[in-house]
Amino acid sequence: MPETPSPVRVHVLLYDTGGDQEGIHSIELAGRTVVLLFEDPDDAERYAGLLEAQDFPVPTVEVLDRQEIEIFCSEAGYEARFVPAGFLPRSDEERLLIAPPERNMDVSQWQEQLAADAASTAAEALPSGGDPELEAFRRRLEGLL
Protein backbone atom coordinates (compact mmCIF):
# COMPACT_ATOMS: atom_id res chain seq x y z
CA MET A 1 0.00 0.00 0.00
CA PRO A 2 1.55 3.33 -1.04
CA GLU A 3 2.22 5.86 1.68
CA THR A 4 0.24 9.07 1.72
CA PRO A 5 2.64 11.92 1.06
CA SER A 6 3.03 14.28 3.99
CA PRO A 7 1.64 17.76 3.46
CA VAL A 8 4.02 20.42 2.22
CA ARG A 9 4.38 23.12 4.84
CA VAL A 10 4.91 26.82 4.10
CA HIS A 11 5.51 29.83 6.29
CA VAL A 12 3.14 32.80 6.14
CA LEU A 13 3.03 36.10 8.00
CA LEU A 14 0.02 36.57 10.28
CA TYR A 15 -1.13 39.49 12.42
CA ASP A 16 -2.97 39.18 15.73
CA THR A 17 -2.36 35.43 15.64
CA GLY A 18 -5.09 33.57 17.50
CA GLY A 19 -6.98 36.80 18.13
CA ASP A 20 -10.43 37.80 17.01
CA GLN A 21 -9.05 39.83 14.12
CA GLU A 22 -6.29 37.59 12.81
CA GLY A 23 -5.00 38.77 9.44
CA ILE A 24 -2.56 37.59 6.79
CA HIS A 25 0.15 39.74 5.26
CA SER A 26 -0.24 40.42 1.56
CA ILE A 27 1.27 42.69 -1.04
CA GLU A 28 -0.22 44.32 -4.12
CA LEU A 29 1.41 43.36 -7.42
CA ALA A 30 -0.03 44.76 -10.63
CA GLY A 31 -3.50 45.03 -9.12
CA ARG A 32 -3.42 41.54 -7.56
CA THR A 33 -3.41 40.79 -3.84
CA VAL A 34 -0.58 38.34 -3.28
CA VAL A 35 0.03 36.22 -0.19
CA LEU A 36 3.62 35.07 0.18
CA LEU A 37 4.25 31.41 1.01
CA PHE A 38 7.84 31.04 2.17
CA GLU A 39 9.54 27.67 1.95
CA ASP A 40 12.33 28.70 4.33
CA PRO A 41 11.31 29.91 7.81
CA ASP A 42 14.40 32.14 7.94
CA ASP A 43 13.22 33.98 4.81
CA ALA A 44 9.82 34.55 6.42
CA GLU A 45 11.43 35.80 9.66
CA ARG A 46 13.72 38.13 7.71
CA TYR A 47 10.74 39.55 5.77
CA ALA A 48 8.89 40.12 9.07
CA GLY A 49 11.96 41.89 10.45
CA LEU A 50 12.09 44.17 7.41
CA LEU A 51 8.44 45.07 7.96
CA GLU A 52 9.18 45.87 11.59
CA ALA A 53 12.09 48.09 10.52
CA GLN A 54 9.59 50.07 8.43
CA ASP A 55 7.36 50.59 11.50
CA PHE A 56 4.81 48.18 10.05
CA PRO A 57 2.87 46.03 12.54
CA VAL A 58 5.04 43.03 13.38
CA PRO A 59 3.65 39.76 12.01
CA THR A 60 4.33 36.31 13.40
CA VAL A 61 5.54 33.50 11.18
CA GLU A 62 3.12 30.57 11.13
CA VAL A 63 3.50 27.18 9.46
CA LEU A 64 0.52 26.06 7.37
CA ASP A 65 -0.23 23.34 4.85
CA ARG A 66 0.58 24.73 1.39
CA GLN A 67 -2.41 23.16 -0.35
CA GLU A 68 -4.86 24.43 2.25
CA ILE A 69 -3.54 28.01 2.17
CA GLU A 70 -3.56 27.96 -1.65
CA ILE A 71 -7.22 26.89 -1.59
CA PHE A 72 -8.00 29.62 0.94
CA CYS A 73 -6.26 32.24 -1.23
CA SER A 74 -8.06 31.09 -4.36
CA GLU A 75 -11.46 31.19 -2.68
CA ALA A 76 -10.73 34.63 -1.20
CA GLY A 77 -9.62 36.04 -4.56
CA TYR A 78 -5.93 36.24 -3.58
CA GLU A 79 -2.92 34.91 -5.44
CA ALA A 80 -0.68 32.57 -3.43
CA ARG A 81 2.95 33.04 -4.46
CA PHE A 82 5.48 30.41 -3.38
CA VAL A 83 8.91 31.78 -2.46
CA PRO A 84 11.43 28.90 -2.61
CA ALA A 85 14.47 28.75 -0.34
CA GLY A 86 17.40 30.58 -1.92
CA PHE A 87 15.11 32.59 -4.23
CA LEU A 88 16.94 35.25 -6.25
CA PRO A 89 14.75 37.93 -7.84
CA ARG A 90 15.19 38.81 -11.51
CA SER A 91 12.86 41.82 -11.63
CA ASP A 92 11.60 44.66 -9.45
CA GLU A 93 8.33 42.76 -8.97
CA GLU A 94 10.14 39.61 -7.87
CA ARG A 95 12.23 41.71 -5.44
CA LEU A 96 9.01 42.34 -3.50
CA LEU A 97 8.85 38.60 -2.77
CA ILE A 98 11.95 38.86 -0.57
CA ALA A 99 11.76 42.47 0.68
CA PRO A 100 8.66 44.59 1.32
CA PRO A 101 8.11 47.76 -0.69
CA GLU A 102 9.74 50.90 0.72
CA ARG A 103 6.30 52.41 1.21
CA ASN A 104 3.50 50.41 2.76
CA MET A 105 -0.21 51.11 2.84
CA ASP A 106 -1.61 52.78 5.94
CA VAL A 107 -2.60 49.93 8.21
CA SER A 108 -3.89 51.91 11.18
CA GLN A 109 -7.43 50.72 10.46
CA TRP A 110 -6.61 47.23 9.15
CA GLN A 111 -8.43 45.37 11.90
CA GLU A 112 -11.65 47.33 11.40
CA GLN A 113 -11.48 46.90 7.61
CA LEU A 114 -10.66 43.23 8.05
CA ALA A 115 -13.75 42.73 10.21
CA ALA A 116 -15.99 44.49 7.70
CA ASP A 117 -14.57 42.47 4.80
CA ALA A 118 -14.79 39.20 6.73
CA ALA A 119 -18.42 39.78 7.62
CA SER A 120 -19.32 40.11 3.95
CA THR A 121 -17.19 37.26 2.55
CA ALA A 122 -16.49 34.66 5.25
CA ALA A 123 -19.57 32.56 4.61
CA GLU A 124 -18.87 32.37 0.88
CA ALA A 125 -15.12 31.78 1.06
CA LEU A 126 -15.16 29.19 3.81
CA PRO A 127 -18.24 26.94 3.74
CA SER A 128 -18.91 24.84 6.82
CA GLY A 129 -19.49 21.14 7.34
CA GLY A 130 -17.33 18.05 7.24
CA ASP A 131 -14.12 17.06 8.99
CA PRO A 132 -13.70 18.62 12.49
CA GLU A 133 -9.96 19.22 11.91
CA LEU A 134 -10.72 20.98 8.63
CA GLU A 135 -13.47 22.97 10.36
CA ALA A 136 -11.00 24.18 12.99
CA PHE A 137 -8.60 25.22 10.23
CA ARG A 138 -11.40 27.00 8.37
CA ARG A 139 -12.43 28.92 11.50
CA ARG A 140 -8.82 30.03 11.87
CA LEU A 141 -8.67 31.10 8.24
CA GLU A 142 -11.91 33.07 8.61
CA GLY A 143 -9.93 35.46 10.74
CA LEU A 144 -7.51 35.92 7.85
CA LEU A 145 -10.26 37.42 5.72
Q: Which of 18-22, 25-29, 68-72 has the lowest mean pLDDT?
A: 18-22
Share of the chain above pLDDT 70, in %: 66
Q: Where are the domains of the chain?
A: 9-142
Among 73, 95, 91, smallest CA distance to 83 is for: 95
Q: Return the pLDDT at 89.
A: 86
Model's pTM, two decimal places?
0.67
98-116 in b/e burial notation, b at 16+ Cβ within 10 A?
A: bebeeeeeeeeeebeebee
Q: Return the pLDDT at 5.
A: 67
